[in-house]
């Protein structure tokens, strides 16, 4: 059996391929760069223009001077815990093992941006008095970051709602069983906080069976000047 025909065809194809590669290499074509990377075994490194730039806590733009970058993510159903990120540091997350059913709260010094404490309060089977004792003595200027997980409201009473309203919340008065809620407020705030989202638990619109979708909110919080004493 003679193989002259197939061998001749392979030789022609190989010659055409080598000629194309040489031309791209000499004339600097875009394809030549990719081919050189392919044959050298190197991966093509994306240029800075190709990479979507991310800033602290994954924000798409940097915060102004004397502002804190933050991102809040409420829990998903009763499965995935919430997250609270501040200045690129994760304050609350399942990985840190400091989340729980109910309200997950981080307190931050509004002058320095320093984390004061984190705590979670079970609003389904816990004692609301623990939450009240936590919120009542807050100092002027303290920043309060809140992310819900599973159920944020069953044990919520009128005093607890008033305390959150005093921190700038508009949605807490309507907060109900298994709603999703993220909120940033401050002790001594004069107006309602612009940083708040609530997703109502509704059978007609729930993303999960029995729970609404998780909420995600980010932004820049201004630091306040030192309090005059």
Q: Beta partners for 117?
A: 107
- Which pTM value belongs to this model? 0.77
CB atoms within 10 A of CB 206: 17
Q: Is 70 exceeded by the pLDDT of residue 163? A: yes
Long-range (24+ apart) CB contacts under 8 A made by 19-26 are none
Domain-by-domain residue ranges, the chain?
57-222
For residue range 117-130, what is the model confidence (pLDDT) as tens digits? 999 999 999 999 99
Instruction: Give the span between the Cα atoms of 86 and 143, in whole angstroms.
Output: 11
125 or 3, which is more confident? 125
Read off the pLDDT of each residue in 190-210 and give the average, rounded to a whole number. 91
Q: What's the angle, vertex CA 66, arms to CA 61 and CA 70, rounded to 5?
A: 50
Here the tokens at position 7 are 């061998």
Q: Beta partners for 119?
A: 105
Contact 67/222 with Cβ under 8 angstroms? yes
Contact 129/148 with Cβ under 8 angstroms? no
For residue range 21-66, what is the model confidence (pLDDT) as tens digits? 555 554 454 444 443 333 344 444 555 555 666 899 999 999 999 9
């Amino acid at each position: 059996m003679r193989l002259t025909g197939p061998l001749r065809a392979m030789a022609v194809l190989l010659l055409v391929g080598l000629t194309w590669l040489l031309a791209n290499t000499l004339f600097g074509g875009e394809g030549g760069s990719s081919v050189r990377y392919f044959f050298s075994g190197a991966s093509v490194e994306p240029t800075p223009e190709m990479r979507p730039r991310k800033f602290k806590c994954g924000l798409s733009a940097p915060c102004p001077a004397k502002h804190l970058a933050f991102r809040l993510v409420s829990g998903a159903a009763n499965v995935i815990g919430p997250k609270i990120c501040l200045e690129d540091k994760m304050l609350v997350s399942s990985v840190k093992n400091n989340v729980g059913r109910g309200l997950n709260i981080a307190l931050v010094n509004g002058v320095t941006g320093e984390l004061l404490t984190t705590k979670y309060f079970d609003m389904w089977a816990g004692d609301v008095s623990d939450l009240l004792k936590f919120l009542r003595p807050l100092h002027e200027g303290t920043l309060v970051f809140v992310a819900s997980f599973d159920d944020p409201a069953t044990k919520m009473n009128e005093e607890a709602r008033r305390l959150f309203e005093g921190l700038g919340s508009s949605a807490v008065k309507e907060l109900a069983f298994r709603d999703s809620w993220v909120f940033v407020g401050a002790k001594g705030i004069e107006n309602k906080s612009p940083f708040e989202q609530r997703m109502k638990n509704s059978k007609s619109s729930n993303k999960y069976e029995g729970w609404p979708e998780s909420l995600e909110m980010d932004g820049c919080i201004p630091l306040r000047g030192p309090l005059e004493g």
